[in-house]
């Protein structure tokens, strides 16, 4: 959310600009995608991680600042109510 505020746009516009699909349940996350969490279900992004892999039931993530301590691997049900959105990174213009 801070990036959206930095560039003076609302989160919906930020999602469109950065190819973050909403609602997330229509998107199949891929390795390397960002995963945005809303722990309080109030449409405020509280945490972000990186998708490591998925299977038919779970998304597996790499997350920093887990319990305010370290980096950990975690897993969540694909239909978790805490998953707010995914972000697909595009590095094609870095060459």
Give the global pTM: 0.72
| 41-94 pLDDT tens trace | 887 788 899 999 999 999 999 998 877 778 999 999 998 999 988 888 777 777
pLDDT digit string (tens) for 13-54?
Answer: 666 676 665 555 567 899 999 998 888 888 778 889 999 999
Which residues is 82 bridged to in the sheet?
none
The radius of gyration computed from the CA coordinates of the chain, to the nearest angstrom, equals 13
Sheet of strand 83-87, all strands in order from the earlier edge strand to the far edge: 70-77, 58-66, 47-54, 34-37, 83-87
Look at residue 6 in the predicted model and tell me its pLDDT.
45
1: pLDDT confidence band, cut at 50, 70 and 90?
Answer: very low
């Amino acid at each position: 959310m801070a990036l959206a505020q930095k560039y003076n746009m609302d989160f919906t516009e930020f999602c469109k600009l950065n190819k973050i699909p909403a609602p997330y349940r229509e998107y199949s996350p891929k390795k390397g995608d960002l995963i945005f969490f809303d722990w309080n279900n109030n449409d405020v992004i509280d945490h972000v991680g990186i998708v490591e892999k998925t299977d038919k039931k779970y998304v597996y993530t790499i997350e920093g600042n887990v319990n305010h301590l370290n980096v950990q691997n975690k897993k969540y049900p694909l239909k978790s109510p805490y998953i707010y959105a995914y972000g697909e990174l595009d590095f094609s213009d870095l060459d």
